[in-house]
Structure 1
Amino acid sequence: MEEGEIGEARLPVYEYDPSLEFPRDSTPPKTTGSARVARFVARTRVGHGRIALVDEHDEVQFGRDALPQGTTTPRIRIKTLEVSKHHATVYWDAEGQHWAIVDMGSMHGTFILPAGSAAEGRGQRLSASRAASIPRKISHLDSIRFSTIEFVAHIHDDLPCAECSPQSLKDEIPLFPSAKPVADAPPTTSLRTHPYARDPKKALSALKREMLHSSQSTRPSAPAPATAYVDRSAMRRANFPASAADAPGVAPIRTTLMPPPPPPPPPIPQPAPDPVSQPPTPLASTNIGHKLLMKQGWQPGTSLGLDLNGRAEPLDGQELATTHRRGLGMTK
Structure 2
Amino acid sequence: MPSSVMPMPSQAGGGSAPAAIAATGLRKSYGDKAVLGGVDLHVPQGTVFALLGPNGAGKTTAVKILSTLITPDAGRVRVAGHDLAGEAHRIRAAIGVTGQFSAVDGLITGEENMLLMADLHHLPRQEGRRTAAELLARFDLTDAAHKPASTYSGGMKRRLDIAMTLVAGPRIIFLDEPTTGLDPRSRHNMWQIIRGLVADGVTVFLTTQYLEEADELADRVAVLNNGRIVAEGTPEQLKRQIPGGHVRLRFTHPDTYRAAADALREVTRDDETLTLQIPSGGSQRELRAVLDRLDSTGVEADELTVHTPDLDDVFFALTGTTDPTAPAQPKETAR
Q: TM-score, normalised by structure 1?
A: 0.19
Q: Which has the larger radius of gyration?
A: 1
Structure having the higher strand fraction is: 2
Structure having the higher helix fraction is: 2
